Amino acid sequence: MAYAASEPGTTAVAPALAIKILVAGGFGVGKTTMVGTISEIRPLHTEELLSDRGIGVDDTSGVETKITTTVALDFGRITIREGLWLYLFGTPGQDRFWFMWDELALGALGAVVLADTRRLQDCFPAVDYFEQRGIPFVVGVNCFEGARRHDPVKVRRALGLNPSIPIVLCDVRERSSVKEVLTTLVTYAVEGF
């Protein structure tokens, strides 16, 4: 016999809810690092060594010391409370792996587009992708050491963003900074997109 949660002596069980968030952006912008910094579980990474096959195909300018690349996705999880989780899916950044994005985007609440102001043009495809599909997104400007800091107003103008899209300066190596970016995204997607 099933009991209604409102009957004396019974407790209501909240339904479980998983919220899917994408982390996108150009090659070497910090997507894998962001997922790994915040995930409470050991993140799943599909990293492979850069090889000779990528020469002339992958643009490594500005990230010459990078030796690996995501070839499918990164995955991490955050428990908000009992029965409520954020699932993070890091997308591959190179053009040749963009076919994965449509599958990864299915059912996503929103996305973080990571940007590196030294190579701002690398995040244009991600911005275009989410704008064209009507998926809410925020821009996280990953503040790399030694990189010049730019006012978010100038970044917005350079990206041609709608004034309502949040821009957050962040350091994806810092858990509190990643948390701020994700909180901004969820608030934006739920309250006002």
Which tens digits make up the pLDDT trace of 16-50?
Answer: 889 999 999 988 899 999 999 999 999 877 666 65
Q: Give the chain's count of helices (H) and strands (E).
A: 5, 7
At 193 the pLDDT is: 61
User: Which of the four pLDDT bands, split at 50, 70 and 90, describes residue 1?
Assistant: very low
Mean of pLDDT over the chain = 84
The encoded tokens of residue 155 equal 């970044």
Instruction: Identify the band that residue 3 occupies on the pLDDT scale cut at 50, 70 and 90.
Output: very low
Please tell me which residue, 174 or 96, carries the higher pLDDT value: 174
**What is the CATH code of the structural domain delimited by 17-191?**
3.40.50.300
Provide φ and ψ at 7, rounded to 5°: -75, 145
In the chain, domain spans: 17-191
- Tell me if 181 sits within 8 A of 168, measured CB to CB: yes
Q: What is the pTM of this model?
A: 0.81
Reported as a single tens digit per residue, the pLDDT across 41-85 is: 998 776 666 556 655 555 556 665 655 566 567 899 999 999 999
Q: How confident is the model at residue 12 (pLDDT cuts 50, 70, 90)?
A: low
